[in-house]
Amino acid sequence: MEFARRKTRRVRVGDVDVGGGAPISVQSMTTTKTADVEATLTQIYALASNGADIVRVTCNTVEAAQGIAEIVPRSPVPIVADIHYQYRLALASIEAGVSALRLNPGNIRNENHIKVVAKAAMEARIPIRIGVNAGSLDKELLDKYGGPVPRALVASAMREVRYFDDVGFFDVKISVKHSNVPLMVESYRLLADTTDYPLHLGVTEAGPPPGGLIKGVAGIATLLNEGIGDTIRFSLTADPVEEAKVGRSLLEYLGLRERTKLDLIACPSCGRAEVDVIKVASEVNDRLSALELPIQVAVMGCVVNGPGEAREADLGLAAGRGRGHLFIKGEVVRVVPESEMVDALVEEAQLLADEGAEARLAAADVSAADLAQETRVELLSLQGDPNRTAARKAAIADIVAGSSD
């Protein structure tokens, strides 16, 4: 079931639209010292080339703010300044030319300071993300709600919104991150029911892969499939480039962003497979990933069911009886010796990307489909039909014939 996107206001972070039906964007954050301009820019370029639409940098010192002034005009993507405790560094970041601010209401609590920043952001025409974090909630809210529960996180965000409302500032997006996945999901659902501001999704402090990836996917994908969320970040204890990669991949797998790279699908293998599917899939993944082709490719261990099961793939490979069967949209177009099948698949992938599916189907080997059918019949006679198709069809006919009784 496809969920309709939640209707939100729209804000603009540099040249990236957020909310209001705009494509969901991927964010990450640098791990360098911001004052080290060259190191930070190197990481920003790496993030941008791996799928990040927006990059956040720490602004915790005067030197960091000065570094931002050099980084912003050289950055390929909009820069967000991350501010904690010192509201004057938010003002300095605005002067440095950032495209947005992130404020943590848990550690900038002076109402007047918050309003001063909001007025400055309004004059600069840049948005602010209210970044609520379960680990840094105001003690008053922790006492009132009995801990960092969803109602406490949403209350923190909405109190900050009211401060902004007081000065007429509405270019806002909000996050209510939690390290506990069910509580994170519940927090965002509650927030989505409370306000129409765009939301930035993330499971905070998710940890290193693979656990951190699983937590992030569990929380973020759940909400995206409910139509909630306008930007995302995977908070991993890892090279931030991995955050950008997995964020972009998730959006592509969910059909929320156009595919920009390889999507490899493969069967999990079974006793019927006549090749090492894991080894073949790994080799295909390595070789096709290097080509950066935005296509979906299937590696299937059995020619009996492979082309049919993966008929939606742009291109596929199914093995059987010492041969590799290449298929496009479920139609077998080439049959090659097993020793040549990966090379043939890589060649066909490039041709498919260059010429398109219709041209490659038109260029199909006319004997390929017949060879594939002969192989299927041969394998079925040797291995049997695990789906009992013939027996089931006969039973269905008997049931229908006796229906008048």
In whole angstroms, how far apart are CA 356 and each of 67, 201, 236, 307, 388?
A: 46, 36, 38, 19, 37
CA distance linking residue 358 with residue 344, whole number of Å: 18
Using alpha carbons, select from 12, 99, 101, 47 the residue that is nearest to residue 247.
47
Are 18 and 231 within 8 A, CB to CB? yes
In whole angstroms, how far apart are CA 183 and each of 133, 147, 149, 160, 219?
A: 12, 12, 7, 21, 9
Q: Which phi and psi angles does 108 have, rounded to 5°?
A: -120, 100
CA distance linking residue 124 with residue 270, whole number of Å: 60
Kindly list the structural domains of the chain, giving each domain's residue range(s) and its CATH number in brackets, ordered by start. 10-253 (3.20.20.20), 263-383 (3.30.413.10)
Q: Which phi and psi angles does 326 have, rounded to 5°?
A: -95, 130
Are 338 and 275 within 8 A, CB to CB? yes
pLDDT at 379: 62
Coil, strand or helix: which one is 309? Answer: helix
pLDDT at 155: 97
In whole angstroms, how far apart are CA 107 and each of 61, 86, 186, 261, 297?
A: 16, 9, 23, 40, 48
Residue type at position 315: L
pLDDT at 383: 63
In whole angstroms, how far apart are CA 232 and each of 14, 131, 154, 243, 305?
A: 17, 13, 18, 10, 37
Using alpha carbons, select from 92, 150, 83 the residue that is nearest to residue 120.
92
CA 240 to chain centre: 14
Low-confidence stretches of the chain (pLDDT beneath 50): 1
Residues 6+ apart with CB under 8 A from 127: 11, 12, 13, 18, 100, 101, 121, 171, 172, 173
Structure tokens given for 118: 């909001």
pLDDT digits (tens, 9 = 90+) for 49-95: 999 999 999 999 999 999 999 999 999 999 999 999 999 999 999 99
Q: Enter the DSSP assignment of 72.
A: G
Q: Which phi and psi angles does 78 have, rounded to 5°?
A: -60, 145
pLDDT at 52: 98
Structure tokens given for 384: 């049997």
pLDDT digits (tens, 9 = 90+) for 191-234: 999 999 999 999 999 999 999 999 999 999 999 999 999 999 99
pLDDT at 402: 78
pLDDT at 280: 92
CA distance linking residue 10 with residue 79, whole number of Å: 18
pLDDT at 287: 95
C-alpha count within 13 angstroms, C-beta hemisphere, residue 350: 11
- Spell out the SS3 assignment of 166-181: HCCCCCEEEEEEECCH
